[in-house]
Amino acid sequence: MIRLIILFFGLLPTAMAQAQENRLDEYLNALQTKESETSKETINRVSFSLPNEYTLYTYNRLAGEYFDTDVPGIRGYKANIVCTAKDGGQNLIPDTFLVVMYYDHVKSLWRVFDFRTAADPCYEASVNQDDVNNDKFYTDKEFVYRNLGYWQMMCGRIVLAEKAYRLASTEATARGTKDFVERHMEIINSVR
C-alpha cells in the first residue's frame, strides 16, 4: 500500500507537467490556423481568451519552467517560444515569444494567460509600479492600473494584480466608464 502511495505521489508531478505541456501544444497548434472554427474553440478552451493578434507559422518551444506566485500553493508556468508569427498588420515577425500559463481550478486544466513578444514581466511590473508610486500616469488611471495588474499577473504576483485591477475598477467607475477589468478578475478567481 505504501508503495502505491509513493508511486502515486511520485507520478503526480509528471502527469501534471504533461497535462500542462499538452495544453500548450494545443494552443500553439491552434494559433497556426486560428481562423478555423476548431482552432477558435481550442483557443477558447485552453486559454483565458485574452485577445491575441498573432498567427503562428512555425515554432520551437524552448525549455519552460514553473514559477512560484505570491499565493501559497499556486504556481504558474512560463516558456519561451522561438517562432515566426504574423501580427494583426500581417507583418512577419521572427522572434522569441513568452507564454505564461496558470492552472484554472474552475475548469481543472492548465490555460494560457498570455502569449506575447518576449519581455521581462517582473521588470515591466516594477517599472509600472514605480510609475504608480510616483504618481506618473501616462493616461487615465484605470488604464495604468489595468496595465500594472496585467504585468503583475505575468510575473506571478496574483495578490498585487488583484489589487491593481480593483483600483482600475474603482477609477473606471469614478469616471463613469465601463468596468473593463471584470474578465481579469474572473481569471484571478479561476486561478486561486
What pLDDT score does 2 carry? 57
The share of the chain scoring above pLDDT 70, in percent, equals 89
Q: Is the dihedral of CA 53, 59, 62, 64 positive or negative?
A: positive
- Percentage of the chain surpassing pLDDT 90? 42
The predicted structure's pLDDT at residue 4: 40
Task: Kindly report, residue by residue over 106-136, the tens digit of the pLDDT.
Answer: 999 999 999 988 889 999 999 989 989 988 8
Residue ranges per structural domain of the chain = 2-118, 122-191
pLDDT in tens, 41-65: 998 899 997 667 778 888 887 678 9
C-alpha cell at 41: 474553440
Residue 149 C-alpha cell reads as 495588474
Read off the pTM: 0.83
| Terminal Cα-to-Cα distance of the chain (whole angstroms) | 32
Let me know if 94 is exposed, middle or buried by CB neighbors in 10 A (0-12, 13-18, 19+): exposed
Confidence grade of residue 78 (pLDDT, cut at 50, 70, 90)? very high
Highest mean pLDDT among 42-56, 58-72, 153-167, 172-186 belongs to 153-167
> Can you name the residues that pair with 116 across neighbouring β-strands?
98
| pLDDT given for residue 107 in this prediction | 92
What is the dotted CATH code of the domain comprising 2-118? Answer: 3.10.450
Q: Is the CB of residue 152 less than 8 Å from the CB of residue 125?
A: yes
Note whether 76 and 66 are within 8 A (CB): yes
Which whole number is the average pLDDT over 173-183?
Answer: 81
What's the pLDDT at 146? 92
Distance CA 11, CA 34 (A): 34
Residue 51's pLDDT is 66
Nearest to residue 26, comparing CAs of 83, 94, 97, 111?
Answer: 111
Name residues whose C-beta falls within 8 Å of residue 40's C-beta, 6 or more positions apart in sequence.
30, 34
